[in-house]
Amino acid sequence: MNIEHRILNFKIKLQINISKFIFRYSILFLILIISSCSNPYKNLTKTEYPINDIQEIPYALPFSEKALIYKANINFYKNDISGLLIIKKTDNNIYRIALTTQFGLKIFDFELNHGILNVKHCIEYLNKEVIIKTFQTDFNLLLMQNNTEAIYFIKNTEMNQNIWQFSSGKINRYYIQNSESEKIENISSKKRNSEKISVGLHNYKANIPMNITLEHHNIKLKMNLKLIQ
């Protein structure tokens, strides 16, 4: 075998190896994409849940008549805002949500009325349409106020979860109860199966979570709440 042949052979082998490599990894990559985007509850039985029975969902936060005061730390891109977040249900599906600084000055004061956020007061810096829309999405998710077309109940025995899925167009919101603790411990908002917002609710006391973490996955926004009263 002359040297040219050897080089040609080597080149062919290398090409085959490279194509094998690409083929293998593209499959792996595809599997990864499919699995990350696929609905984890797809194979579980889903039953329609009556929209009128929304109050029966074991999530007391939206129905508490007491004013809830949380110490809040909000990280928004490079900004840290800290203060007290006050949530007060003033009527059915109507809430006042205010954030004050430690010194007491109001940063914002919103009314969430049937899913629509009205600005009563907001410091100029945050009073931008995009930011207000984001707060509307977040508080609607936290207080289960989103408009929904249908609700489904899913039982995930393997994971000890009872799940209420709120469907609205391409968006699905999941309220996930740990069937052992009987508390809603996670909320997840997904658009076409890609997770946009996740909420963790922990250390329940009298049916109210003492700790709440709300995180956006497509923008740098994280809210940490600690119950004071």
Partner 1 sequence: MNKILSTIISVFIFTSILFAQENDFKAVKDIQKTKIELSKLSENTSSIQSKFIQEKHLSFLTENIISKGEFYFKSPNQLRWEYSEPFEYIIVFNDKNILIKDEDKISTFDTESNKMFSEINNMMIGSIQGSLFTDGERFNVKYFENSNQYLLELDPKLPEMKSMLKTIKIYIDKADVSVSKIKMIESSDDFTSIVFIDRKLNQAIDNVIFNIQ
Q: Which residues bind partner 1 (CB under 8 A)?
A: 67, 69, 71, 73, 80, 82, 84, 86, 88, 90, 96, 98, 100-106, 109, 120-121, 123-125, 226, 228-229
Residue type, 99: L
Closest CB 210 distance from partner 1, rounded Å: 13
Backbone angles phi, psi at 175, to 5 degrees: -105, 110
Taking the least distance from each CB to partner 1, the nearer of 67 and 116 is 67
Closest CB 47 distance from partner 1, rounded Å: 39
Taking the least distance from each CB to partner 1, the nearer of 100 and 179 is 100
Closest CB 88 distance from partner 1, rounded Å: 6
Cα 131 from Cα 59, distance rounded (Å): 27
Taking the least distance from each CB to partner 1, the nearer of 124 and 158 is 124
Taking the least distance from each CB to partner 1, the nearer of 96 and 183 is 96
Closest CB 121 distance from partner 1, rounded Å: 6
Taking the least distance from each CB to partner 1, the nearer of 95 and 174 is 95
Chain centre distance of CA 213: 10
Closest CB 215 distance from partner 1, rounded Å: 18
